[in-house]
Structure 1
Amino acid sequence: MKVKPVRAGRAVIVAGLSATMLFLTGCGDRQEPAAEQARPQGGAPAAASSVESPTLAAVRRRGHLRCGVHQGLVGFAMQDNRGDWRGFDVDFCRAMAAAIFGDGGRVRFTPLTAETRFAALTEDRVDVLWRNSSWTMSRDTDGRFAFAGVNYYDGQGFLVRRALDLHNIAELNGARVCVAAGSTSALNLADEFRSRGIVYSPVIMPNEEAARAAYAREDCDAFSGDISALAAARSTLPDPQQHAILADVLSKEPLGPITRRGDEQWTALVRWTLNAIILSEELGVTRANAQQLARDSRDPRIKRLLGAEGDFGAPIGLSRTWALDAVRDVGNYGEIFARNLGPQSPLDLTRGMNAQWNAQTGGLIYGLPIR
Structure 2
Amino acid sequence: MTKYKLEYIWLDGYTPVPNLRGKTQIKEFDSFPSLEQLPLWGFDGSSTKQAEGSSSDCVLKPVRVFPDAARTNGVLVLCEVMMPDGKTPHPSNTRATILDDEGAWFGFEQEYFFYKDGRPLGFPASGYPAPQGPYYTGVGYKNVGDIARQIVEEHLDLCLAAGINHEGINAEVAKGQWEFQIFGKGSKKAADEIWMARYLLLRLCEKYGVDIEFHCKPLGDTDWNGSGMHCNFSTKFMREIGGKAYFERLMAAFDAAREDHIAVYGPDNHMRLTGKHETASIHTFSYGVADRGASIRVPHSFVNNGYKGYLEDRRPNSQGDPYQIASQVLKTISSVPTDSDVSAAA
TM-score, normalised with respect to structure 1: 0.29
Q: Which has the larger radius of gyration?
A: 1
TM-score, normalised with respect to structure 2: 0.30
More strand, by proportion: 2
Larger RCO (CA under 8 A, 6+ residues apart):
1
